[in-house]
Chain A
């Protein structure tokens, strides 16, 4: 095997190990729950026999190792059972919520990367100018400000004071439901504007700072002097330089998406966006454990997949990473 293939295989084994470990943690966590899951679900009118039957149906009378093995199998096959309260399979519920989360994250991500790179490249090119300094300070402040308060502020100003944008939700009540209907409706974009703005205000800072930094490096290199000697107009030189400065951004994007997913819960709550993070909060409050358990697992899975991806990209791009 080549070095890189071995590296990938090793990372993959590690990924599987961590998935198993996290599944086990989730299992233990939900086994530690005080009381009996049937207690929440079962009506007080239920007879003892009915409760017994329900317990047997859910396999709660089996020994713990049997339950554990069945749980692992189900989770790996994405068979999460049914929700306690919503008359639907957990997988169906969470698939829809995850799609909604993506409907908020992806546009924000694209805008942040494209716009952030452009701003960062220009700022890096004009080192020492007032524009550069203002950009850096603004980016640092936005980068460290708590995004949920920024969200609350945006809501107060744009929805309540000015009344320009809807205060929450993804589409209006009774709005479109299928993917195509949603993304082609103006309603969705109106609801998206505010959360997207808040997300971008934070996520854009990464590409800006990163590109500014690598632009400073590229600017000092020889090939820029050559381009200038060839008499290329300044904007074209900037484009050339930016293309070379873009490389570090590739790895950063994977990291960024992972972080974005973690902070997502807050914005989904503030903007009443029906995403997976909000579903987890709702499920935890309602004691809908099948949903909570699966949401937790899926969110961890996304984090893991992105970590894995970052490692791979790193390994592929940076020759200094040793494959062992």
Chain B
């Protein structure tokens, strides 16, 4: 929780914390670019091969990570919950159609398809988020559908129906509150997966070239061979990504334990 809080603060306050803009180039007194300088007082984490400040990029990267994580998690959970509710509640051909769609979605490995789409369209952060949403909605959709199926057979739903409640009312007032904890769980998982997938895509060179995310930093560092020469350029984005993802994962697990104690073993 603490770690995640720190990252959120960093993302929110990026303009205040980061000493330079993400694309600003550092010059020394002779107007020469300060490329690949090791960490110093001017550049806490050193500079890249184009003389950009690693610490600033690292701070701005938190913002990108959070935007991607939150929007894609929210989008996928809303979509997944809707599909799950409708599919489970109404059943019949609607269920059949929606479930075949999830089957198709489950058959598409994310990275290959995302790379293909991005290479055909223009790479942009919005497209990356859209793709992540498309990849993530399928699991909550299935799980929530199963949950709705079991809820539908419970007495309190019959009672509502006997009292003359409409389908919409039953769905919103009776069933939705009971699946919301699951939705929140998938929201947390979505943040983690979303951040990771964006980083992976960007690292492979399919990210938005107009923003500085941790994945894009790693891509630039990797291509410049910084692993050999400039450890200070590789470690900040990589460690930030790892720590962020691990922190969110731990929160998810704690949450999952509370939701379903039986799962504790796995």
Contacts and interface: CB of A to CB of B under 8 A. Distances in A.
A140 B265 contact: no
Interface stretch (A180-188, A191-199, A291-299): A291-299
Interface stretch (B77-85, B104-112, B146-154): B104-112
A28 to B, nearest CB: 10
Interface residues of B, number: 41
A115 interface: no
A192 B106 CA distance: 30
A134 B107 CA distance: 36
Interface stretch (A103-111, A222-230, A264-272): A264-272
Interface string B197-236: 0011001110000000000001000100001100100100
- The binding surface of chain B is classed by DSSP as helix
Contacts of B227: 152, 155-156, 160
B115 A212 contact: no
Contact of A281 (B108, B204, B253): B204
Interface in A28-56: 29-30, 32-34
Given A146-B241, A156-B231, A284-B119, A18 B104 contact: yes
A269 B219 CA distance: 11
A273 B140 CA distance: 34
Given A33-B120, A299-B109, A212 B242 contact: no
Contacts of A295: 112
Interface in A255-285: 261-263, 265-266, 269-270, 277, 280-281, 284-285
A141 B249 CA distance: 9
A53 B100 CA distance: 42
A309 interface: no
A84 interface: no
Contacts of B257: none
Contacts of B94: none
B241 A284 contact: no
A304 B100 CA distance: 13
B139 to A, nearest CB: 12
Interface residues of A, number: 53
Interface in B86-108: 100, 103-104, 106-108
Most buried by A among B107, B205, B231, B239: B107
B66 interface: no
A152 B109 contact: no
B250 interface: yes
Nearest to B249: A144
Contacts, number: 127
B246 interface: yes
Nearest to B244: A146
Contacts of A140: 249-250, 253
Contact of B103 (A18, A261, A281): A18
Given A144-B246, A152-B222, A285 B119 contact: yes
Interface stretch (A93-101, A213-221, A236-244): A213-221
Given A146-B242, A152-B222, A156-B234, A280 B104 contact: no
A189 to B, nearest CB: 23
A125 to B, nearest CB: 14
B112 A277 contact: yes
Most buried by A among B119, B199, B205, B241: B119
Given A17-B100, A270-B222, A145 B245 contact: yes
Nearest to B266: A213
A113 interface: no
A149 B238 contact: yes
Contacts of A280: 112, 115-116
Nearest to B195: A146
B265 A214 contact: yes
B196 interface: yes
B222 A265 contact: no
A14 interface: yes
13 contacts: A14-B100, A22-B104, A140-B249, A144-B245, A160-B227, A210-B266, A262-B111, A280-B115, A296-B112, A296-B116, A300-B108, A300-B112, A303-B107
Interface of B: 100, 103-104, 106-113, 115-117, 119-120, 192, 196, 199-200, 203-205, 218, 222, 227-228, 231, 234, 238-239, 241-242, 245-246, 249-250, 253, 264-266
Given A149-B238, A296-B116, 16 more contacts: A17-B100, A25-B108, A26-B116, A141-B246, A146-B241, A152-B238, A156-B234, A160-B227, A217-B265, A262-B110, A262-B111, A266-B111, A280-B115, A295-B112, A304-B107, A307-B107
